[in-house]
Amino acid sequence: MKTLICEQPGQLAYGSKEKPLPEKGSAILQVKRIGICGTDLHAFEGTQPFFNYPRILGHELAAVIDAVEPGHGFAAGDQVSIIPYFNCGTCIACRNGLPNCCAAISVFGVHADGGMCEYISVPVEYLLKGNDMSFDELALIEPLAIGAHGVRRAGVKPGEFVLVIGAGPIGLGVMEMARIEGANVIAMDVNETRLNFCREKLQVSYTINAAAPDVLQQLQEITGKDMPTVVIDATGNLKAINNALQYLAHGGRYVLVGLQKEAFSFSHPEFHKRETTLMSSRNATREDFEKVMTAMREKKIKPATYITHRVQFGEVKEHFESWLNPANGVIKAMVEC
């Protein structure tokens, strides 16, 4: 079967490998859609932490079950997505119900080869059945679940002002899930095209260009001088992470969803006087995936809104690098298999 391998930063190559054989407790899936994630793009750039090469990328997936043993609640022909975070089940995080930050986690497409191939083998415990959903919807569950988890970590409440920094796919998912929780969402980015997308496609009421000279004044005007009680970074940009504390209300929560390799820092007095709660948000849990699926089924989220680029599997290598260029307007590139 055909595969696409990221051999090293900046280098993709098509290859082939044997179709996986059925194993006890696992299902063989025929891949139908692959969403291109920031993780995939950062791996191509060489800026993704927790990564080694060569690697078959791809963890935002829609698939059809090709083969599965009976007794697990799945059958050949079922449409599924996957929870791509394979956890050990025994470490302290797993014992405390936090498999998303398992001490020995293996993320499909990051620590282990992923879904950029025709068939994959996945343990049935990580499958999500969605026979009533489209392949596009199934492939978009995972990035939206990342947003759902960040919002749940922040404990977002109705009526709060939530500033989301970064209007890429993950940031947009954060905005959607914060909106569903009843928050007043403020989108911040340096890319006006993405801010327009927030206004026109997601009906975000407030948008701010992070490069504007009066960002603090705009936030004060929007929040009645209170400032946002929740700030969520979805950029993974060191400068953005370091600067964002000044945007947070006293007593507020600052959540880092974005990830980068360097150490971040900000003023201790500024952090201290706010009695800031600082949190990271990693991956997502089944609860978050199920929340997203429910929101999709109730039409609170329109997944087609996110898909701006489509290619066939055989065209990925040709187009992949272009998706790194903000001028191309990529929100979500979707690979059809």
Query: Tens of pLDDT along 152-173?
Result: 999 999 999 999 999 999 999 9
Instruction: Answer yes or no: do 318 and 232 share one domain.
Output: no
Instruction: Answer yes or no: do 316 and 231 share one domain.
Output: no
Does the pLDDT value for residue 46 go beyond 90? no
Mean of the per-residue pLDDT values for the chain? 95
Instruction: Answer yes or no: do 196 and 255 share one domain.
Output: yes
- What pLDDT score was predicted for residue 177? 97
Instruction: Answer yes or no: do 185 and 151 share one domain.
Output: yes
Residue 137 lies in a domain: no
Both tokens assigned to 303: 């997944």
Instruction: Answer yes or no: do 27 and 114 share one domain.
Output: yes
Instruction: Answer yes or no: do 322 and 262 share one domain.
Output: no
Both tokens assigned to 48: 């993704």
Coil, strand, or helix at residue 121?
strand
Does the pLDDT value for residue 73 go beyond 90? yes
CATH number at residue 227: 3.40.50.720
- What pLDDT score was predicted for residue 38? 85
CA dist 228 → 31, 216, 245, 250, 309 (Å): 41, 11, 11, 9, 33
135: exposed, middle or buried (C-beta count within 10 Å: 0-12, 13-18, 19+)?
buried
Residue 20 pLDDT grade (very low, low, confident, very high; cuts 50, 70, 90): very high
Residue 290 lies in a domain: no
What is the rounded CA–CA span in Å between residue 88 and residue 105? 7
Helix residue ranges, H only, 23-103: 38-45, 92-95
Residue 97 pLDDT grade (very low, low, confident, very high; cuts 50, 70, 90): very high
Residue 52 pLDDT grade (very low, low, confident, very high; cuts 50, 70, 90): confident
Does the pLDDT value for residue 88 go beyond 80? yes
What is the rounded CA–CA span in Å between residue 260 and residue 168? 15
Residue 194 lies in a domain: yes
Residue 296 lies in a domain: no
Instruction: Answer yes or no: do 231 and 271 share one domain.
Output: yes
Q: How many domains does the chain have?
A: 2
Residue 203 lies in a domain: yes
CA geometry: angle 312, 131, 169, nearest 5 deg: 50
What is the rounded CA–CA span in Å between residue 226 and residue 259? 28
What is the rounded CA–CA span in Å between residue 63 and residue 74? 13
Instruction: Answer yes or no: do 324 and 263 share one domain.
Output: no
Instruction: Answer yes or no: do 21 and 108 share one domain.
Output: yes
- Whether this prediction's pTM lies above 0.85 is answered by yes
Residue 126 lies in a domain: yes
Domain of residue 185, residue span: 147-280
CATH number at residue 11: 3.90.180.10
Instruction: Answer yes or no: do 158 and 271 share one domain.
Output: yes
Among the listed residues 250, 230, 224, 67, the one whose alpha carbon sits nearest the alpha carbon of residue 154 = 230
CA geometry: angle 45, 50, 52, nearest 5 deg: 65
- What pLDDT score was predicted for residue 283? 96
* For the chain, percent of residues with pLDDT exceeding 90: 91
Instruction: Answer yes or no: do 316 and 270 share one domain.
Output: no
Does the pLDDT value for residue 49 go beyond 80? no
310-336 in b/e form (b: 16+ CB < 10 A) is: ebebeebeebbeebeeeeeebbbbbbe
Q: How far is CA 250 from the centre of its chain?
A: 28
Q: What is the pLDDT of residues 246-302, one digit of tens each?
A: 999 999 999 999 988 889 999 999 999 999 999 999 999 999 999 999 999 999 998
What is the rounded CA–CA span in Å between residue 161 and residue 179? 10
